[in-house]
Amino acid sequence: MTAKSTTHVPTREELDQIAGPLLIEFGASWCGHCLALKPTIESLLQATPGLPFLWVEDGPGKPLGRSFQVKLWPTLVFMRDGKVLQRLVRPSADEVIAAMELLKRLV
């Protein structure tokens, strides 16, 4: 799960079993807010090799997004050992950078 994946969306139970750090982005391919934040996220991921990242195409009735209380896109979920450390809803680039600093220390 080090690259974007929309072919297999894991269950919440599978994500809760992942050891170590994990960044999940919930969004939609057509979402303007998601597209605007994409370069920032890609740049931070390049600067943090080894950080598992999962991009999830979200929408009404999608159980994984609902399990993380996703209501707006993008929603970023920072996890460690199956526990949510931080959840950012429609964040600014500065908010993502600050949250990534926390996660980078855990990689």
The answer as to whether 1 is a domain residue is: no
Q: How many domains does the chain have?
A: 1
Contact 81, 25 (CB under 8 A): no
Q: Which domain holds residue 97?
A: 12-104
Query: How would you class 2 by CB atoms within 10 Å of its CB: exposed for 0-12, middle for 13-18, buried for 19 or more?
Result: exposed
Q: Which CATH number does the domain housing residue 28 bear? A: 3.40.30.10
Enter the pTM of the model: 0.90
The answer as to whether 3 is a domain residue is: no
pLDDT per residue, tens digit, the chain (107 aa), is 444 544 688 999 999 999 999 999 999 999 999 999 999 999 999 998 889 999 999 998 899 999 999 999 999 999 999 999 999 999 999 999 999 988 777 76
State the Cα torsion 71-77-59-56 to the nearest 10°. 170
- Locate tokens 């170590």: which residue? 20
- Locate tokens 């959840």: which residue? 87
